[in-house]
Structure 1
Amino acid sequence: MKFEEKLDELVGVEGGYVNDPADSGGETIWGITAAVARAFGYAGAMKDMTKAQAKEIYRARYWTQPKFDQVGRLSAPIAYELFDTGVNMGQTVAGKFLQRALNVLNNGATIFPDLTVDGAIGKMTLYALETYLKARGVTGENTLLKMLNAQQSVRYLELAESRPKDERFMFGWQTNRVEM
């Protein structure tokens, strides 16, 4: 799968215009919140944002800015999972999920040094991922994907437990976001 295909898939899941008072994201279209749209230069009515404009924002904010594109050079499936999680939970959360998983998969820091879990994808995180993938191969990549999805699933559970208004979104989050 190429990034454009993943982007089309994500925009399809996010859907069109929504202004649900129970949604913490507020007014959105194609999954882009008004706050993010404004921060990336969109000044029109949210209902009028085109898919093409939303895709430009996704690419800048949720793919290039958090360096998931650089992760994609090492593993497209891992990068796409981080992208999806980053859109729905924030890029820093996605980065922390990756760093946490890598830290416990590094065999007591014998494969690479433990990472600081700050959510920022930098040289050390990229090095750790590259080293891990070389050591563990396809099976390791699949294991890491499972761990990223498991963390995402648990995070949705925690959100719904702490914010009962989010319970109405739980089934959709688990159905559309968590893959096993």
Structure 2
Amino acid sequence: MNTSSSPAFGPHLDDGRFRAAVDFLWPHEGGLVNDPVDPGGITNWGVSLRFAKSCGDLDGDGRLDLDLDGDGDVDADDIRRMTKPDAAYVYWLYWWQRYRYGELHLPIATKVLDLAVNMGAKQAHKVVQRAARAHGRTLLDDGDLGPASRSALRSLGNADILPAIRSEAAGFYRGLVAARPASSKYLGGWLNRAYA
């Protein structure tokens, strides 16, 4: 991802729905963090090294998308170089566009993006599917935000589904801490994010 010359870098900023979702997300993400307890490794603006290495070349420009320093690999140096605009582009390309969040009601799209950046898309989709199931929709929590999930989400009002999404997200974070007690130091921040 060459943000200085890529023609694909700017258009996402013209999408008002995406900008609103990112404005909601920013308070939950900080800058550079390199905590040995975090299994994602060094992280900047919510983009972890583990995630960055998995990205490949989704934008099709012939380069690894998150090789920000242009040296042919994705490593901690690339995470250190990541700026807020770089991270916004990652959110747009790897979540917003890839999973078509913009087709959902904006409050739901915003919440799903926020959770996907923190817990991964598949887990965020499971959280949303469980929330819809709590409202009587028959869905598997398979992490695939496919036609059945989208239809269920469209059929629910934001006032109905958002509290359920928040509750399911909080439950996920509590379960994560129970399974990995070293992560307990993150629980307060995770719960703030879940209930936002």
The two structures have a TM-score, normalised by structure 2, of 0.75
Report the CA distance shift for 1:13/1:117 in structure 2 as closer, same or farther (over 3 A). closer
CA contact (8 A) 1:78 1:141 kept: yes
Match of 1:162 in 2: 179
The two structures have a TM-score, normalised by structure 1, of 0.81
Letter in 2 for 1:93: Q
Q: Displacement, 1:66?
A: 2.2
Identity of aligned residues (%): 32
Deviations along 1:18-42, one digit per CA (max 9) or x if unpaired, are 1110112210111111233342512
Q: Displacement, 1:118?
A: 1.3
Across the two proteins, how many residue pairs are aligned to each other? 163
Q: Displacement, 1:123?
A: 1.7
Match of 2:141 in 1: 117
CA contact (8 A) 1:37 1:57 kept: no
Provide the C-alpha distance between the structure 2 equivalents of 1:102 and 1:172, rounded to a whole number of angstroms.
24
Partner of 2:99: helix, strand, or coil?
Answer: coil
Q: Provide the aligned C-alpha RMSD in A.
A: 2.0
Q: How does 1:1-180 map to 2 (within 5 A)?
A: 2-38=17-53, 39-40=55-56, 41-43=65-67, 44=69, 45=77, 46-71=79-104, 75-106=105-136, 114-130=138-154, 132-133=155-156, 140-175=157-192, 177-179=193-195
Partner of 2:32: helix, strand, or coil?
Answer: coil
**Higher relative helix content:** 1
- Structure 1 segments, 4+ long, off by >3 Å, are none
Match of 1:137 in 2: none
Provide the C-alpha distance between the structure 2 equivalents of 1:129 and 1:5, rounded to a whole number of angstroms.
19
